[in-house]
Structures are given as C-alpha cells and as structure tokens.
Amino acid sequence: MPSATTVSADDIRDLAHQIRRDVVRSIACAGAGHPGGALGGAEIFAMLYSGVMNHDPGNPKNPQRDRFVLSNGHICAGFYAALARSGYFPPDELATLRKINGHLQGHPARAHMPDTVETSSGPLGQGLSVCNGLAFAARLDNSPARMYCFVGDGEMQEGQLWEALMTAGHHKLTNVTLFISYNALQIDGEVDKVKKVEPLADKLRAFHWNVVDVDGHDVDALLAAVDTAKQTTDRPTAIIARTVMGKGVPYMEDKAAWHGGKLSWDQANEALEALGPARNYTDFAIEGGTK
C-alpha cells in the first residue's frame, strides 16, 4: 500500500495535476458540474489517495482500511478522478460523469459505487457525522483505521456539522481528521458576506479540536499537517486548508460563479491549455474524441 514515505511530494503534485485535467474534461463531457471546488481540492485528494491513506483498490472492503468521506459531494469530479487514478476503476469511465446508467452520479452515491463510496453525500453538513460513526466503530474494533472527512468552508454554515464537531470533540475521536477547503467563496459570493464562519479556528478549538492552518495547495505542508493529526492523541484534528476556487485555471480562479454550472468544450480546452500536461499520466479516452 502506498504511504507518505514511499510516494514523493512531486508525484503527489503530478497526480493533483492530472486530477485537475480529469475534472475539467469529465465535467466538459457531462456539459455541466462543479469544477471550482474540485480544482481547489486536487492536492488534498491526490495526497490522501496516493500518499496518506491506508487503502487497497484490490481489496476495497478491507475492514482495516482508512476511510474518506467527501461531505461536500458536489465536488465529486475531483474525488472520482482520484479513485480512477488510484486503480478503483478505469479512468475512461470518467467520461460518464452525470450520465444516465453510469456509476458516477452527480453527487457520490454508495448505491451506485458500493466498493468505493463510503457514504452518499451532497446535502451539505452531513458527512462528518457518518465519519464519526466509522470512527466509533474502529474504536470498538481496536482498529488502527483513520477517517478523513472533507468539507467546504461555506458548508460550515450547516447546523448538523457543528453537532458532529461537538461529538468528535467530546468523544475524543482522535482517528478523525477533517479537511476544511477554505476558498472563502460559496454560490452566492463571499462566505464572509453570505454568513460569516469566522473566527473559524477559534470556534473549532472551542469545540475541543486541534487546528492546523495550511496552504491547501502546498503538498509538503499538507503532509506535515496530517502527521500532526496522527500524533495528536487527545482530540481530533481539523486542517484548515487555504485553497483557491478554480485553482490552475486562470479564468476560474477566485470566481464564485465556478462553484458550478455549464462548461463548454471551448472553455475546457482553454483550461487544459493553461494547465498543461501531467508528467506521469495520460488523459482518459473520450468516445468520438473531444470537440
């Protein structure tokens, strides 16, 4: 199984690069989707699936596996790309995102991907509760498995998430690590103007969480933050990862409009040109080619 010691930060960065290409191309195939947050989370997805999590595509139901819960399910294009590039399914299937009779639903669905999606998600604020349940079970089983949950900063406006934060803090679920992709934007604009979540770190600490604040695109910093989480033995850890919505695609960067919507092949090709090719990966095939 891959681990942080065997996979170099450079390789993780290269995977993140390909995840970005896959996000753009799969959403272009679908005609619409949620590219902004998926591009912003690319390093986190890449790091978890290639350098951090104890998982095995050849034995996906291993009870001792680490678990990933994508709470803000709308950014699933990045999650699906990480799964495909890790060997859970052929990357060519990324062309079927959001298509009828496909596995790759518009939001992750366990019913359609029982081996790879730990929990269905989409309605915001609900993933951490499930993650906590997985963590309680691991504790009961004396399993070393660790749980990683991904949420957006706008998602912090959901009430159930704070219930779950309180639960993990109170019950000292040290096997839970929460990534908060903090791009300061949500559908209706700046999080700070829509409804403030700040002072976020203080709030999390008040809920009995360890808090680390890092650049969400700095792989070395992210790896160090995960190590801190593993070494913290009296409380769960939240990693506030400063990300840029639409990262890597100049016309999308820092634009709330790219939370979600239509994506034409003209726009996609402009994005792919800006991104450039990845070093160790090739793009998935698209039946009939691109436009």
Partner 1 sequence: MTFTGNVDVRDGFGAAIMELGEKNPNVVSMTADLAETMRFQPFAEKYPDRFIQMGISECDMMGTAAGLAMAGKIPFPGTFAVFAASLANQAVRLSIAYNRANVKIAASHGGVTVGGDGATHQAFEDIALMRMLPGMTVICPADANEAYKATMAAAAMDGPVYLRLARGNHPVVTRADAPYQIGTADVLRDGTGVALIATGPMLARALQAADILAAAGLTARVVNMHTIKPLDEKAVIDAARACGAVVTFEEHSVLGGLGGAVAEVLARELPTPMEMVGIQDTFGESGEPDEILVKYGLTADAVVAGAQKVVRRKK
Positions in the binding site for partner 1 (CB under 8 A): 63, 109-111, 118-123, 126, 128-138, 140-141, 159-160, 163-164, 166-167, 170-171
| Contact in structure between 184 and 190 (CB atoms under 8 Å) | yes
Minimum Å gap between C-beta 156 and partner 1 is: 15
Closer residue to partner 1, CB minimum distance, 163 or 188: 163
Minimum Å gap between C-beta 116 and partner 1 is: 13
Closer residue to partner 1, CB minimum distance, 172 or 224: 172
Distances (CA, A) of 243 to 8, 52, 161, 181: 21, 19, 20, 6
Closer residue to partner 1, CB minimum distance, 50 or 121: 121
Minimum Å gap between C-beta 167 and partner 1 is: 6
Minimum Å gap between C-beta 42 and partner 1 is: 26
| Contact in structure between 225 and 214 (CB atoms under 8 Å) | yes
Any idea what the Cα angle at residue 183 is, between residues 189 and 131, rounded to 5°?
A: 110
Whole-angstrom Cα distance, residue 4 to residue 106?
31
Closer residue to partner 1, CB minimum distance, 141 or 227: 141
In the structure encoding, which two tokens stand for residue 256, read together? 């709330």
Minimum Å gap between C-beta 288 and partner 1 is: 33
Respond yes or no on whether the N-terminal peptide bond of residue 199 is cis (omega within 30° of 0). Answer: yes
DSSP for residue 145: -
Closer residue to partner 1, CB minimum distance, 141 or 198: 141
DSSP for residue 284: P
Give the residues across from 273 on adjacent strands. Answer: none
